[in-house]
Structure 1
Amino acid sequence: MELQMVKYEILARKLNYQFANPSLLTIACTHKSAGIKDNERLEFLGDAVLGCTISQMLFERYPDASEGDLSLMKSHLVSKKSLSIVAEQIQLEHHILFNRKKTQKSPAVIANSLEAVFGAIFIDSNMHQASQVILNLYQPLLENIAIGSLKNPKNELQEKLQKNRHELPTYEIKCLSGDEHNLHFVATCILKSHNLLTEGFGKSKKAAEEDAARKMINQLNEHTA
């Protein structure tokens, strides 16, 4: 137990935050598989604290960004992938208490634990302190974020159509060829309002749909040129 407390003290230093109630950090790092008081409630709270912090930061940092662009950046920053990157910076995975027989220390488990840590800091102090910790940890990600790089063709096509109050496209997927380790997919993007259809190809369903959406954008641009 003493060794465990030392580990949590090390984690607190990495967070650059001193807990008034250290047991909150212990709970935040306890997965439900451990069979003791777990971090699910703190995760619920931390998710809200993170969302509010990121929303306010983006609102202030990008005064000319549209609501759609702000939402896109927020979705990227609060995603499990981004949370996992932030968690890796502080080596959070080494501090999570869980039952190896019941679960694995997956990226999702680690990301959820980080949200719980944010919730614990909020309960231990206040919104301002929690936001400071979050923004400090997120600094490397914030420095590299760019609206253009986050937009995939499907989002771009949807925004283009919504802006002009047009019907949204539908997508159909089928496997084109290949074995289970080297599949190739074809996606059809159908835009009934314009009587247009495009086909996209890729090694994943997502890639094929994005290729079809990209071709649909090109077709729409040609029609309006």
Structure 2
Amino acid sequence: MNDRQAHSARLQRALGHSFSDPGLLDLALTHRSVGGRNYERLEFLGDSIVNHIIAEALYHQFPKAREGELSRIRASLVRGDTLAKVARELQLGEHLHLGPGERKSGGRRRSSILADALESVAGAILLDSDVETCRQCVLNWFAQRLEGLSLENADKDAKTRLQEYLQGRNCPLPEYELLGVQGEDHNQQFQVACRLVKPTLVVEGSGSSRRKAEQAAASSALEHLGVA
């Protein structure tokens, strides 16, 4: 087994699926900046199947929840920053095929690219196997997040939950600082730091707007505190 094959084998173990057609996985990891065939079509397919799998899981997990509650919880799980975090946990960025410009600008760490790639990989698994195999993979990726859900927090965003957590412990409220903005006007990425005095913690988040970046940073702080 050469280095490339070993690299791919490690990723497949992390994903929980061994591909019959390795070319599908390779395509799922190919960003549009490479040119030619890329993961966009697989991303379209993966977006649909991930939404379906998460919706079905929530339907069974919360039998008494109203439609609006289920929709809000699902939205929190399938939004871009959450998908990007799952992709980072799977170390997906290390395996992406990017054009020279994206590599130089930090594309392997960019949340939007990681989120798209995770969806494209889900689409590739679906095509390589079947719905049930894809379902098991996706549920494993989201297992910890699904287990930590409660209807009590369904209506609350990450910033609100972090503020309530700190207030309940008589701790100072978090401070958010804009660190920078990257990209063209039509495709900007905002980077924000979230600082806690007690307990001492500094985390960062990124998003397509300052508000989304602050929410991503707050969500990261909650994860570090063990209450995400």
- TM-score, normalising length: structure 2: 0.64
Indicate the residue corresponding to 1:42 in structure 2. 42
> Using the alignment, how far apart are the partners of 2:84 and 2:148 within structure 1?
16
- Report deviation, 1:3: 3.0
Residue 148 of structure 1, CA deviation: 2.4
Give the counterpart of 1:111 among 90, 115, 123. 115
User: Structure 1 stretches (4+) deviating beyond 2 angstroms?
Assistant: 2-6, 102-105, 146-150
Compared CA separation, residues 205 and 57, structure 1 to 2 (3 A): closer
1:143, distance to aligned residue in structure 2 (A)? 1.6
Give 1:141's aligned amino acid. R
Q: Any gaps of 5 or more consecutive residues in structure 1?
A: 154-179, 182-203, 207-225
Kindly state the Cα deviation for residue 34 of structure 1 after the two structures are TM-superposed.
1.0
Counting only pairs closer than 5 Å after superposition, residues 48-197 of structure 1 correspond to structure 2 as 48-102=48-102, 104-105=107-108, 106-152=110-156
- One-letter amino acid matched to 2:147: E
CA distance in 1, matches of 2:211, 2:18: 46
CA RMSD of aligned residues (A): 2.2
**Matches of 2:100 and 2:113 in 1, distance apart?**
12
AA partner of residue 44 (structure 1): F
Report what 1:197 is aligned to: none
Deviation at 1:100, TM superposition (A): 3.2
Shift, 1:205, TM fit: 6.9
Paired residues, number: 158
- Separation in 2, partners of 1:147, 1:53: 19
Instruction: Say which one has the larger Rg.
Output: 1
Structure-2 residue corresponding to 1:20:
20
- Tell me how far apart the structure 2 counterparts of residues 96 and 108 of structure 1 sit (CA, whole Å): 13
Structure 1 counterpart SS, 2:64: coil
Q: Return closer, same or farther for 1:121/1:205 CA change in 2, 3 Å cut-off.
A: closer
